[in-house]
């Protein structure tokens, strides 16, 4: 009997050590992704009605990202043209991704941050690096920190080493790699997932050199990314193949899902996509199999329950609003006359502020004076005056 | 390795739970980790299911949460006597209304108005922090930028005055923003630039494109619509963006400014798929100070959000002259906004006194008359704050069924058109026509034209003619443009003779822009903003000058100073002008051509000039080479 007691005590000590190690290990794994907030930058770079599918691509990723929990304040959505309220759209305020108008990815609650002519290479790079003019509103800024996981999605027309913005300018893969390096130097991301759906998309991630970057592209260098299916009522192709199958994959993901990046790499094999999707994980420090989809597409918050009670300070007493101008004699206000004809007719013209003479006038007068003094000489001046 | 370690904790947990069962019976513990520790101290354990343990620890945790709640309540009770007085109720009021006016062309015009009145003082740097119905984002904009009045509108489509009559609240196509700043602002232009940036973030619109090239400072138009006595036009700024697109992303933040959001009240009808499938859609936000009472000694701030929409007979109505709330908005009403003090629907039945033109159901006994747009109109009123409006089905779906299509519309007294005449891409002529349809009265109009700098106006060709004769304006203010800095501003006060057309023409020349200044789609053309015509039009009935009497919202927007006329603002169409557009592939073509020419022409010439010819012996055969080698060795000259 005593032997069994000793054995069990020994076992219990052994067990306790193992338990604590296991607990800390699972706790460690629980916090191992290292990010506390999620951001998404979704960009559609194409203009004109026949590029409807690029807008639908971006909006379908926007929809998935919002559904999985990232709020609008953490999404920077850039659409280069308006398809929903375009006059050629037979169903206004809708953008469909599946034919027969099955799924409206535009929705009722969309907030586009950069639209129309604002989607330029300069604005895109400024958003990424954070170097925006001081009066830019918060919804147009990427306010990420070193614990943010950022998802960047680009779609449009591209080529070997560049992506075309609105048919008038391009961004090259070198510029993009440098922008990401700037972000890394300024500690603007913890991990970054870059997805691109254009022709020859893999060329865009060839030049990356900053750590913690994972990239996916819809086609290799020399291949074209193809579009999925047209809708005969709308008259254009609705989605690109890669993003269509990506959307189908993401529709099965819910916030508690444990799907990881290896599943994402398998989306749209060559049989479905006709092009060969590629990915790059050599710069990423973690194993892709341990990275959850919701680490980038969702906003799963880690909650730590604490048992301590927090003392709040005494409630702030509201300052009694003094009745405005109690002592000043209140004059009677009135509405302004909207079209005071007599006042307008007798309005004095606005006094233009006096400005010193412009350069041309100054030069002209200098020339005249020079000629004058040259002809007459200074000592003869008193004869003239 | 990971899989192996996965099995271990499970087995350990079961073992621990066994021990827990023994311990739980004897001891009461309050902390789960402590439980584990105490369990491990006692290795003798018995069988126990994991769920019971979890339930036990859950129960223990529950008890723990309850404890904190009790502590909170106790703290509250202690804190109560410390609070001096209850927080003063901010005095704000919210009203919502919908006006439906069937139009003679078969279309239907619906106008939503949401008004929040707040008795507070934003002026003179007063710090306001307790927001209730008034949206905080707009309140902060007003205090930070010292705004006295702000009017912003987003419109899709053009209002056809001749077919639809006058709108209750006019707006030009695209985006329009005009702001009166307070006297305390020192640098109006810098404040204006910051304000446009902040508003572009709030409304998800590209208002940041408003800069000095499309902002003007009108000298006589756009007097403040709120109360005030100082009208120094240095504090006024006006800008339009005729190219601005309006879509759901502008409607979403607009709806979020409402106290009830889009969850209750009239705002549930605002569904984007139906609203944007219309001939005309306009949403606006107006902020201004108004009189609090008839004495007008104190001011309160008014925020009006308006949404005007015209549904087309053929697009939305499927050709049938039968309209209902469900057909227009794909929703019916179930309740009023609980925060609203009044929530009403007005249907214009002036043309239908005996019910011979159209039939309105469900019937209502409430009638109201209002003086609006110079006419006395009768309305059927549905009060949504009364429960019996919704009837037994608990939902209100108004139905307007037309019986006959007779009757003609009252012709609007003031109407304006604008177009570009001329040919080619060098010159052109802008024609603005203003129609006065009153049979015997003439009235003055103030025409405001803001033309971008790339259309160089020749003001010496400006002519104003009415009925073929020259009509000299009594006031002209012209500010010439400066390339890439300022647009043209032309303001004229013209007296329109009765029953006539007044034509204003001015010639212009198109400028060639720098190649970086062209938009990505330059062949679409460049927009010129609408002209604004402000006028005091004589009215057929005496207008109500008492500004504080209880009136429907749609009739009390423009303040009325005299009874015989009412103020109206008419917007013309925007113009679409083609500028001479270069071929943007030219730089590439030129480089290719130049390089080819240089390579072929200069290269060949250089070769000819600098190439020198040398005679070269053919290489000798093998025998001769060996012989030369032997000769070299001997020191004899080679063959």
Q: Is B105 helix (H, G, I), strand (E, B) or coil?
A: coil
Q: How far is B625 from chain A (nearest CA, A)?
A: 54
Q: Do B219 and A137 touch (CB under 8 A)?
A: no
Q: Mutation test of the interface with chain B: which of A21, A44, A318, A333, choosing the one with the most B Cβ atoms within 10 A?
A: A333
B242 and B155 Cβ atoms separated by less than 8 Å: no
Task: Output Rg (C-alpha) for chain A, integer angstroms.
Answer: 32
Judged by average pLDDT, the poorest of B185-189, B294-298, B390-394 is B294-298
Q: Which pLDDT value is given to residue A21?
A: 56
A residues 56-95 lying closer than 8 A (beta carbon) to B: 82, 84-85, 91-94
| Helix, strand, coil tally for chain A in percent (to 5) | 35, 15, 50
| Whole-number Cα distances in Å, A313 to A322, B68, B75, B76, B378 | 26, 17, 11, 12, 58
- Set of chain A residues whose Cβ sits within 8 Å of the Cβ of B547: 335
Instruction: Return the structure tokens found at A142.
Output: 């990427």
How far is A92 from chain B, CA to nearest CA, in Å? Answer: 6
B516 pLDDT above the threshold of 60: yes
pLDDT of residue A144: 94
What's the CATH fold of domain B414-577?
Answer: Immunoglobulin-like (2.60.40)
Helices within B269-346 (DSSP H only): 272-275, 325-329
User: Residue A349's pLDDT is what?
Assistant: 64
Q: Is the pLDDT of residue B29 over 90?
A: no
Q: What is the pLDDT of residues A18-31, one digit of tens each?
A: 666 555 544 444 55
Q: Is the pLDDT of residue B405 over 80?
A: no
Distance of CA B222 to the CA centre of its chain: 20
From chain A, pick out residues whose CB is under 8 angstroms from the CB of B299: 333
Q: What share of chain A in percent tops pLDDT 90?
A: 56
pLDDT at B73 over 60: no
**Omega before residue B435 within 30° of 0, cis:** no
Provide the token pair at B4. Answer: 């192996």
pLDDT (mean) for B247-253: 94
Is some CB atom of chain B closer than 8 A to the CB atom of A18? yes
Q: Which two tokens mark B190?
A: 């810098």
Predicted confidence at residue B8, as pLDDT, reads 58
| CB-CB under 8 Å, A23 with B248 | no
CB nearest B79 (choices: A85, A167, A314): A314
Check B43 against A8: CB less than 8 A apart: yes
Return all residues near A241 (Cβ < 8 A) that are at least 6 apart: A218, A225, A226, A227, A228, A268, A272, A273, A274, A275
Q: Per-residue pLDDT tens for A73-117?
A: 999 999 999 999 999 999 999 999 988 888 899 988 899 999 999
Residue B311: strand pairing partners = B108
Q: Is residue B344 very low, low, confident or very high in pLDDT (cuts 50, 70, 90)?
A: very high
B2, B121, B126, B201: which to substitute to probe chain A, counting the most A Cβ within 10 Å?
Answer: B201
Chain A residues touching B585 at Cβ < 8 A: none
Percent of chain A with pLDDT over 70: 89
Contacts of A248-251 with CB under 8 Å at 24 or more apart are A250/A61, A250/A64, A250/A68, A250/A293, A250/A297, A251/A64
Cβ separation of A347 and B220 shorter than 8 Å? Answer: yes
Interface of B with A in 31-60 (CB under 8 A): 31, 36, 40-41, 43-44
Inter-chain CB pairs, A–B, below 8 Å = 193
Q: Which residues of A are catalytic?
A: 157, 199
| Closest to B232 (Cα-Cα) out of A332, A350, A345 | A350
What residue spans define the domains of chain B?
Answer: 414-577, 585-609
| Vertex B172 angle, CA B148 and B201, to 5° | 55
CB B273 to CB A110 under 8 A? no
What's residue B308's pLDDT? 96
pLDDT of residue B32: 41
Interface test with B, best of A3, A25, A92 (most B CBs within 10 A): A92
Distance from CA of A277 to the nearest CA of B (A): 31
Per-residue pLDDT, A325: 47
């Amino acid at each position: 009997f005593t032997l069994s007691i000793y054995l069990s005590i020994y076992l219990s000590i052994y067990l306790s050590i193992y338990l604590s190690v296991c607990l800390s290990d699972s706790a460690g794994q629980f916090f191992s992704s290292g990010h506390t907030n999620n951001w998404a930058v979704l960009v559609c770079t194409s203009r004109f009605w026949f590029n409807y599918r690029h807008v639908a691509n971006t909006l379908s990723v926007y929809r998935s990202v919002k559904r999985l929990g990232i709020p609008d304040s953490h999404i920077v959505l850039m659409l280069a043209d308006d398809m929903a309220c375009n006059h050629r759209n037979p169903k206004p305020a809708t953008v469909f991704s599946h034919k027969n108008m099955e799924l409206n990815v535009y929705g009722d609650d969309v907030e586009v941050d950069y639209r129309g002519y604002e989607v330029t290479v300069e604005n895109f790079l400024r958003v990424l690096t954070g170097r925006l003019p001081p009066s830019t509103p918060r919804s147009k800024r990427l306010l990420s920190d070193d614990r943010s996981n950022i998802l960047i999605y680009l779609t449009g027309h591209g080529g070997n080493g560049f992506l075309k913005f609105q048919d008038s300018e391009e961004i090259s893969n070198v510029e993009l790699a440098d922008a990401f390096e700037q972000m890394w130097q300024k500690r603007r991301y913890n991990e970054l997932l870059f997805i691109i759906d254009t022709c020859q998309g893999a060329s865009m991630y060839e030049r990356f050199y900053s750590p913690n970057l994972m990239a996916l592209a819809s086609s290799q260098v020399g291949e074209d990314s193809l579009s999925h299916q047209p809708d005969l009522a709308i008259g254009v192709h609705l989605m690109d193949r890669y993003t269509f199958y990506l959307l189908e994959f993401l529709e099965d993901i819910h916030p508690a899902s444990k799907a990881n990046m290896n599943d994402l790499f398998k989306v749209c094999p060559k049989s479905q996509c006709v092009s060969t999707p590629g990915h790059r994980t050599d710069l990423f420090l973690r194993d892709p199999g341990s990275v959850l989809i919701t680490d980038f597409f969702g906003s799963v918050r880690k909650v730590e329950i604490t048992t301590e009670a927090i003392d709040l300070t005494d409630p702030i007493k509201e300052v009694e609003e003094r009745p405005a101008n109690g002592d000043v004699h209140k004059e009677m206000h009135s509405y302004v006359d909207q079209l005071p004809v007599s006042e307008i007719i007798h309005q004095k013209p606005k006094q233009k502020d006096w400005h010193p003479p412009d350069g041309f006038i100054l030069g002209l007068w200098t020339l005249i004076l020079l000629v004058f003094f040259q002809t007459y000489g200074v000592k003869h001046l008193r004869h003239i005056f | 390795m990971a899989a192996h370690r996965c099995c271990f904790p499970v087995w350990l947990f079961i073992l621990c739970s066994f021990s827990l069962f023994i311990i739980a019976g004897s001891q009461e513990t309050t902390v789960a980790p402590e439980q584990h520790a105490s369990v491990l101290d006692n290795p003798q354990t018995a069988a126990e299911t994991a769920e019971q343990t979890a339930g036990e620890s859950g129960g223990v945790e529950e008890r723990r949460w309850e404890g904190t709640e009790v502590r909170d309540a106790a703290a509250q009770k202690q804190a109560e006597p410390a609070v001096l007085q209850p927080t003063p109720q901010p005095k704000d009021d919210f009203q919502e209304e919908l006006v439906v006016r069937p139009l003679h062309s078969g279309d239907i015009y619906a106008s939503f108005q949401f008004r929040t009145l707040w008795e507070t003082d934003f002026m003179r740097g007063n710090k306001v922090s307790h927001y209730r119905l008034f949206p905080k984002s707009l309140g902060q904009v007003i205090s930070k930028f010292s705004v006295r009045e702000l009017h912003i509108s987003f419109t899709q489509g053009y209002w056809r005055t001749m077919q639809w009559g006058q709108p209750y609240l006019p707006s030009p196509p695209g985006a329009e923003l005009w702001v009166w700043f307070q006297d305390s602002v020192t640098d109006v232009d810098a404040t204006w630039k910051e304000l446009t940036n902040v508003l572009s973030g709030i409304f998800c619109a590209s208002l940041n494109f408003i800069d000095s090239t499309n902002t003007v400072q009108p000298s006589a138009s756009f007097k403040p619509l709120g109360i005030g006595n100082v009208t120094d036009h240095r504090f006024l700024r006006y800008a339009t963006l005729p190219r601005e697109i309006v879509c759901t992303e502008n409607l979403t933040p607009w709806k979020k400014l409402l106290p009830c959001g889009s969850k209750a009240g009239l705002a549930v009808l605002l569904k984007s798929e139906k609203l944007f499938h219309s001939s005309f859609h306009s949403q606006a936000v107006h902020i201004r100070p108004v009189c609090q009472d008839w004495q007008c000694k104190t001011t309160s701030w008014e925020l009006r959000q308006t949404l005007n929409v015209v549904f087309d007979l053929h697009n939305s109505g499927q050709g049938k002259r039968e309209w209902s709330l469900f057909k227009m908005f794909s929703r019916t009403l179930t309740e009023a906004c609980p925060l609203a003090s009044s929530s009403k629907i007005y249907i214009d039945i002036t043309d239908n006194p005996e019910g011979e033109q159209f039939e309105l159901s469900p019937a209502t006994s409430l009638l109201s008359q209002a003086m609006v747009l110079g006419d006395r109109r009768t309305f059927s009123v549905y009060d949504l704050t009364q429960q019996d409006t919704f009837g037994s089905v608990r939902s209100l779906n108004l139905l307007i069924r037309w019986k006959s299509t007779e009757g003609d519309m009252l012709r609007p007294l003031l109407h304006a058109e604008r177009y570009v005449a001329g040919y080619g891409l060098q010159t052109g002529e802008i024609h603005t026509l203003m129609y006065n349809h009153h049979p015997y009265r003439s009235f003055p109009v103030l025409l405001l034209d803001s033309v971008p700098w790339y259309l160089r106006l020749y003001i010496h060709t400006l002519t104003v003619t009415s009925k073929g004769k020259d009509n000299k304006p009594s006031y002209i203010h012209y500010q010439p443009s400066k390339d890439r800095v300022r647009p043209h501003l032309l303001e004229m006060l013209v007296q329109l003779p009765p029953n006539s057309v007044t034509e204003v023409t001015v010639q212009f020349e198109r400028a060639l822009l720098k190649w970086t200044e062209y938009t990505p789609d330059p062949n679409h053309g460049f927009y010129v903003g609408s002209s604004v015509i402000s006028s005091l039009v004589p009215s057929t009935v005496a207008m109500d000058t008492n500004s504080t009497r209880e009136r429907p919202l749609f009739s009390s927007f423009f303040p009325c100073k005299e009874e015989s006329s009412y103020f109206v603002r008419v917007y013309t169409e925007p113009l679409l002008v083609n500028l001479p557009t270069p071929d943007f592939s030219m730089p590439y073509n030129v480089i290719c051509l130049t390089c080819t020419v240089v390579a072929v022409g200069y290269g060949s010439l250089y070769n000819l000039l600098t190439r020198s010819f040398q005679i070269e012996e053919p290489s000798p055969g093998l025998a001769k080479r060996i012989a030369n080698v032997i000769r070299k060795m001997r020191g004899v000259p080679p063959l």
